[in-house]
Amino acid sequence: MELMIPLKNQAGLSYYSQIYTYIKEEIKKGNLKPATRLPSTRLLAEHLKVSRSTTQMAYEQLLSEGYIEAVPYKGYYVLEIDGLVHTGQELKEKGASLLQSGFPHSMTGSGILVDFSPRGIDLGAFPFNTWRKISKNTLVDDNREMFVTGDPKGEAGFREAIRTYLHSARGVNCLAEQIIVGAGSEYLLMLLSQILSSDRIIAMENPTYKQAYRVFYSLNYQVVPVFMDQQGMDVRLLEESGADTAYVMPSHQYPTGIVMPVKRRQELLSWACKKEGRYLIEDDYDSEFRYKGQPIPALQGMDQKDKVIYIGTFSKSIAPAIRVSYMVLPKSLLSVYREKVSFYASTVSRIDQNILYQFMEEGHYERHLNRMRAVYKAKHDVLIAGLKPFEEQFLIKGEYAGLHLLLTDLKGRTEEELINQAEQAGVKVYGMSGYFIHEEHNNYPPTIVLGFASLNEEEITRGLDLLKKAWRVEE
């Protein structure tokens, strides 16, 4: 078939974005029916007189969000999306110029030369001078107001800045009064436990972010692991679990790297709407870093029934030591918040909130994100290129987003063997098995998690050279 896409020369709106938006809206409206075959990227590019890379980028974004599927040797087909909720907010296309990376890091000690930790970030590009200047200005005029108790939810201006950012960058729809600022996601989850009833059953993706599991477990919640398929948490198994709350990471699941397509998101929302009192906790911890297409919109932006509790953090995008996170409560829980926990003082000082507020308001945060996207993409590309010789021994996944990749063994070796062999060569790697709530639920083949954020390009290359020898990878 042919697609008559009216492309226009508009400032700030690329052809790729116009093609992506047009096809998505046609699918939403039902004008492109399920199972309809779309033209190939080459034919569409010739028809629209644009480059093939432009149409490929548009199709990759539609694939990521679950609007279309690629059938090997046949082409691209429209997927069935029943009852799709319109978000009312389209994400702006964001550009980022490539910057040089490569900041020196010290050796890790204990005989380890290279540590592929999935938890690290790169602080080499952090704008320390800007942060220092803002910090100085905050305290320069005996600003006594900064030293008295502030709003328990967080400073109003800061919460409004977060609301503006979330709306434009993540498609989150909320008011500033729905946002609560806290010192880390762990604190916010503990605060949330005071708002929700204590007899809840919480379902978590398996494997998952173990720190969140530890918090729920320490609060005496019953936590049930729910297996995932290639699209994320299996909703049928979720229904069978008896849970009334589900903790999910739809934009980039940790550690599997799964990006949940729009149809599965809609199924989760439908599950939450079936019974009174059900909620989804959306952890959007590193959604800023995506290397193909636009960032995937947040699940909260699709929610029209007040069922999503949204949690985000500045730890990955700025620095872990900042310890500033935020939670967006559904409006239906605000009265419960006021009744039960509004007397808790904010755990983030007004000084730190004001510094971060100015950092965002003056445009430094967006520039820093663009810079870090470029830095991490450069490292990501070095890692992907260096892993080419490993493809005969490993299935490599998770290459489109986040700060780590997965290597699944194809040669019958165990995780323990691979980790020990790497360590003997001076390289620290991590096993997928460590992310399962219960070891007996580990149904994954032996898989290694390779983080790259805290390494420079030379260290990545050196680490891969050592792994080649450790795992006997041939060029």
- Residue-wise pLDDT tens digits, 345-372: 889 999 899 999 999 999 999 999 888 8
297 or 142, which is more confident: 297
CA angle 186, 274, 63 (to 5 degrees): 70
**What values do phi and psi take at 468, rounded to 5?**
-60, -45
257 or 249, which is more confident: 249
pLDDT reading at 278 higher than 60: yes
Q: Are 325 and 314 in contact (CB under 8 A)?
A: yes
pTM, two decimal places? 0.80
**What values do phi and psi take at 112, rounded to 5?**
-90, 120
Residue 256, classified by CB atoms within 10 Å of its CB into exposed (0-12), middle (13-18) or buried (19+), is buried
Q: Are 196 and 341 in contact (CB under 8 A)?
A: no
**What values do phi and psi take at 60, rounded to 5?**
-65, -35
E strands, 183-275, in order: 201-206, 222-229, 232-233, 245-248
pLDDT score recorded for residue 126: 85
Residues 6+ apart with CB under 8 A from 370: 94, 95, 96, 97
Reading the block at residue 460, the tokens are 């990545």
Average pLDDT over residues 260-288: 93
**What values do phi and psi take at 106, rounded to 5?**
-80, 160
**Secondary structure class of 60 (helix, strand, coil):** helix
How many other CB atoms are there within 10 angstroms of residue 348's CB atom? 23
Reading the block at residue 135, the tokens are 């910090």
pLDDT reading at 106 higher than 60: no
**What values do phi and psi take at 224, rounded to 5?**
-115, 125
The confidence band for 336, taking pLDDT boundaries of 50, 70 and 90, is very high
pLDDT reading at 95 higher than 70: no
* Distance of alpha carbon 426 from alpha carbon 112, whole angstroms: 4
pLDDT score recorded for residue 409: 96
pLDDT score recorded for residue 57: 80
- Residue-wise pLDDT tens digits, 145-163: 666 678 999 999 999 999 9
Tally of residues, the chain: 475
Mean pLDDT of the chain: 86
- Residue-wise pLDDT tens digits, 186-224: 999 999 999 998 899 999 999 999 999 999 999 999 999
Reading the block at residue 422, the tokens are 């790497």
pLDDT score recorded for residue 83: 46
Q: Are 416 and 433 in contact (CB under 8 A)?
A: no
Residues 6+ apart with CB under 8 A from 390: 396, 407, 464, 467, 468, 471, 473
Widest CA span of the chain, in angstroms?
Answer: 69
* Distance of alpha carbon 468 from alpha carbon 393, whole angstroms: 11
* Distance of alpha carbon 26 from alpha carbon 152, whole angstroms: 45
- Residue-wise pLDDT tens digits, 402-430: 889 999 999 999 999 999 999 999 999 99
* Distance of alpha carbon 199 from alpha carbon 222, whole angstroms: 8
pLDDT reading at 108 higher than 70: no
Beta bridge partners of 70: 76
Beta bridge partners of 449: 406, 430
Residues 6+ apart with CB under 8 A from 30: none
- Residue-wise pLDDT tens digits, 378-392: 999 999 999 999 999
pLDDT score recorded for residue 15: 81
Give the position of tokens 């299935």.
395
Q: Which residue in 472, 389, 397, 465 sits closest to 427, CA to CA?
A: 465
Listing DSSP states for 262-315 in one string gives HHHHHHHHHHHHHSTT-EEEEE-TTTT-BSSSSPPPPGGGG-SSS-EEEEEEST
What percentage of the chain reaches a pLDDT higher than 90? Answer: 57
For 37: left if phi > 0, alpha if psi spans -120 to 50, otherwise beta; the answer is beta
* Distance of alpha carbon 442 from alpha carbon 275, whole angstroms: 30
Q: In order of start, what are the domains of the chain with their CATH numbers?
A: 15-78 (1.10.10.10), 114-126+366-471 (3.90.1150.10), 143-363 (3.40.640.10)
pLDDT score recorded for residue 146: 67
Q: Which residue in 149, 118, 162 sits closest to 383, CA to CA?
A: 118
Reading the block at residue 165, the tokens are 């950012």
The confidence band for 236, taking pLDDT boundaries of 50, 70 and 90, is very high
- Residue-wise pLDDT tens digits, 308-328: 999 999 988 887 778 899 999
pLDDT score recorded for residue 10: 60
Reading the block at residue 268, the tokens are 């989760």
* Distance of alpha carbon 458 from alpha carbon 259, whole angstroms: 29
pLDDT score recorded for residue 28: 86
pLDDT score recorded for residue 93: 34
The confidence band for 99, taking pLDDT boundaries of 50, 70 and 90, is very low
How many other CB atoms are there within 10 angstroms of residue 377's CB atom? 18
Q: Are 222 and 26 in contact (CB under 8 A)?
A: no
Average pLDDT over residues 448-460: 93
Listing DSSP states for 441-459 in one string gives G--SPSEEEEE-TTS-HHH
